Amino acid sequence: MIHGLLSRRHFLRRLGVAVGATLGTSPLAELAAVAAPTPVHVVIAGAGLAGLCAALELERRGHTCTILEAETRHVGGRARTLRFEGGLYGEAGAMRVPKSHTLTRHYVAELGLTLRPFVQSNPDAFMFMRGRRERVRDVTRLGAAYGLAAAEQGKSPEDLWAASFVKRLQGLSNEERQDFLAVEPRTEAVRALDRLSVRRVLEAESVSAEAIEFLSVGLGVDTLLDDAATEAMREESQAVWSQSFDEIVGGTDRLPAAMAAQLRDKPRMGCEVVRLEQDPLRGKAAAVYREAGRLRRAEGDFLLCTLPFPVLARVEVEPGFSGAKRRAIRPRERPGIPATTRRRATPRCRRRRAFSSPRTAGGRRRGAGRRCRSASGASRRSVTSLACILSWSAPAS
């Protein structure tokens, strides 16, 4: 959000949004209880779920929006469904909704969409590691392909994870565990963990390099080893991956499509934002965007930026962000933090199934989310107003 005169807190108050509400549907309930302020015009950069949700609620409060989206046909950002002939489809992005994501479920129900259980685990799925194949229920046998230490042999990836990472978590006090939910860690133990990656914690617990590879591939978290340890511990303490999940019948892209259909001001497609500006003297903010090869400008009372960091890193901002924000937006500049590329295989099937391999672990996947950087430089997943878990798995047809 950019505005030359008002802070974020004042911005939320002016729009009638309750400050401090962060979880569940309570922000919507408190929003409805506040009298509507004077209508304003808001420019929204990005028509992903966050941008569409913001536009929907702003319009309901009597405000007007200009939504700029670089894609020419797709809305929803990372909620992207691939469509094939015969009504078949596969998810290329967000594909499951945890039970605890009540805000997402609120919109799913409000917009008339249907949920069904997501196939999260399948013991008959296959795991492929180092040229060997075993059923998920027999994944422990694959440990023979690794040079495990004597104390590590005969253990499954889950056993190794529990004996190291989860053990470290269990050694924390209740106060320290609650600190995982804070914006900034307060306790010394959690501050120390916030300077470590998942890999560093495993190494500190004397897990061998071979065992780290075995457990990370077996659990489908091999590309997340350099994430912040505090984020992974928060998920463990909240039992994020132990709860059940649902999926939207017909494809995840039905949610952003239904949101866009409700808007009076439809997203402007093919409008790539290249610059964000604010004018403190006039109290205005603007987005410069490229449409059909020409630069155009959209100005409003406020500008709400919902662009993901890899895109925002290429956008000019005037006045510029602080050094800390620039470092967070450009994670590749941080030494020792590798960039990861992921692929998802989508086999075409007649029935809904869950598959598993080192790269597509639908048998037991802990998932991957959108990332930002902690103060220590380790990667931390951020949560948007409509947080859908991003994972890599072979979805059902």
Q: Note whether 303 and 2 are within 8 A (CB).
A: yes
Flag whether pLDDT at 268 surpasses 60: yes
Q: Is 224 helix (H, G, I), strand (E, B) or coil?
A: helix
- What Rg value do the Cα atoms of the chain yield, rounded? 22
Q: Where are the domains of the chain?
A: 8-77+251-329, 126-243+331-381
Task: Read off the pLDDT band of 227 (50, 70, 90).
Answer: confident
Flag whether pLDDT at 22 surpasses 60: no
Q: Which two three-digit tokens encode residue 264? A: 């009076």
Residue owning tokens 């495990």 = 148
Q: Which of 16-20, 50-54, 213-217, 305-309 has the lowest mean pLDDT?
A: 16-20
3-state secondary structure 99-166: CCCHHHHHHHHHCCCCEEECCCCCCCCEEEECCEEEEHHHHHHHHHHCCCCHHHCCCCHHHHHHHHHH
Q: 142 vs 33, 120, 241, CA distance in Å? A: 57, 21, 23
Amino acid at 351: R
Element (H, E) at 177: helix 174-178
Q: Is the dihedral of CA 381, 225, 93, 118 positive or negative?
A: negative
Q: Architecture of 126-243+331-381 per CATH?
A: Orthogonal Bundle (1.10)
Q: What is the pLDDT of residues 179-211, one digit of tens each?
A: 988 878 899 999 999 999 999 999 999 999 999
Q: Tell me which fold the domain 8-77+251-329 belongs to.
A: FAD/NAD(P)-binding domain (3.50.50)
Question: Distance between CA 298 and CA 288 in Å, rounded?
Answer: 6
Task: Read off the pLDDT band of 138 (50, 70, 90).
Answer: very high
The pLDDT of residue 353 is 57
Q: 148 vs 118, 145, 201, 215, CA distance in Å? A: 34, 9, 18, 11
Among the ranges 4-13, 19-28, 275-284, which has the highest mean pLDDT value?
Answer: 275-284
Task: Indicate the pTM of the whole model.
Answer: 0.75
Flag whether pLDDT at 370 surpasses 50: no
The pLDDT of residue 25 is 62
For residues 148-169, give the mean pLDDT. 96
Question: Distance between CA 188 and CA 201 in Å, rounded?
Answer: 16
pLDDT > 70 fraction of the chain, expressed in percent and rounded? 76
For residues 108-129, give the mean pLDDT. 91
Task: Read off the pLDDT band of 16 (50, 70, 90).
Answer: very low
The pLDDT of residue 361 is 36
Task: Read off the pLDDT band of 82 (50, 70, 90).
Answer: very high
Flag whether pLDDT at 357 surpasses 70: no
The pLDDT of residue 280 is 87
